[in-house]
Amino acid sequence: MSDKALQGITVLDFSHLLQGPFATQLLADMGADVIKIERPGTGDMFRSLTFRNRWVGGSESPNHLAWNRNKRSLALNLKSEEAREAIAELAKTADVVVQNFRPGVMKRLGYGYEDFRAINPRIVYCSGSGYGEDGPYVSRPGQDMLLQGLTGIMAATGQASAPPTPVGAGFSDQVGAMNMVYGILSALLWRERSGEGQEVRVNLMAGMLAHQNQEMVTAMAFGEDFERPESGIGHPGMDAPFGTYPTSDGWVTIAMSPFRTLVGVLGDESLLRYDDPAQLYEKRDEIWRALAAETVKRSSDELIEALLGADIWCGEVKTHLQAAEDPQVRHLGLVQSYEHPVAGTVKVVGPAVSMSATPPSIERHAPLVGEHTREILGSIGYSEKRVDALIASAAAGEPASDAGEDG
């Protein structure tokens, strides 16, 4: 294994679903030893959830495979005394704890920040929640789509006559994961300077609002909400031509571009009647329809070539499979793979960060439940006999109703 930026950092990962596991995968890609602590038998809740009722290799969830590479799995019943002893031993040399149970669950189980701090004052303890640790929403489930609805992005997306439209990916959770990593790395740097650990708290509501700051500032400054257009204009605050346009065989996007230049490419001089800043916003739906009537006359390839030739900002609209075969994606080597003992060859999107001295890489497949229990417990001095006894006595972990879903 080559040198990694976070080599020597140990993370105890109690998280499940997307927010926490994505955060810890990012740390693992950079070389951290991430020990994924799961319920015996069932493991992370994402192991039993999938899209379209499809399972890789017959039994593995693509959702779980996506967010759990480069980790080791330790299966323990968190309510047992044996688990408490093992985790306390691991905590002595651990650097980071990550969890995204509902607020209060880990503390009730005896795994709150103060519990870990008493064992290791240098530990960085990161909690991810839906709405923070207290307040009127503290008992609400913190799921991605719910947060998109509550924080404005859904009301700003889609056509005016259609229902508010969620983003077609777990956007809230992924923003939360990035904020977790941001907080954890900041806390580790502070620890290097001060010798002290600390608690880091991240919540999806704060993250979603912070990542829409330009929209929030605009709305609050003028006391006015954005109005969704009826057409394919790509942002509720933008004017034409910013948006998505049909072609004879698909769709293209056109961003901020001189309207007169665009009209010159399309060849219909009558469109210049709209070449006025006020009209480009006030009549943006009408303008979109007029432009679409011209773009649909050409294929996507033909239109993109003409637009790029005029230095107009544009791009193709691709599906996930088309994106995987994109020449720039291939050039960057973004689609990678790992071998899994059940799922076989798993194609994934590799690390998104390049580093000259300590490049991230995929070293381990997403683990089976408890795959590394013997290895991990053996590393802290447990005998084979003691490990056998712990595994034999382990019952199922916390029920889903106790664990909750916060990212």
Domain ranges within the chain, ordered by starting residue: 10-211+352-403, 251-316
* Better-scored residue on pLDDT, 400 or 175: 175
Neighbours of 75 (CB within 10 A): 25
Give the pLDDT confidence of 331-366 residue by residue, as tens digits.
Answer: 999 999 999 999 999 999 999 988 988 999 999 999
Q: How confident is the model at residue 393 (pLDDT cuts 50, 70, 90)?
A: confident
58 within 8 A of 341, measured Cβ to Cβ: no
Residue 399 confidence (pLDDT) above 80: no
pLDDT at residue 49, rounded to an integer? 94
Q: How confident is the model at residue 2 (pLDDT cuts 50, 70, 90)?
A: low
pLDDT at residue 394, rounded to an integer? 76
Under CATH, what is the fold of the domain 10-211+352-403? Answer: Rossmann fold (3.40.50)
Q: pTM for this structure?
A: 0.91
Give the pLDDT confidence of 76-99 residue by residue, as tens digits.
Answer: 999 999 999 999 999 999 999 999
Q: How far apart are CA 67 and CA 45, in angstroms?
A: 12
**Per annotation, catalytic residue among 16, 64, 211, 235:** 235
Catalytic residue status for 64? no
Q: How confident is the model at residue 71 (pLDDT cuts 50, 70, 90)?
A: very high
pLDDT at residue 335, rounded to an integer? 95
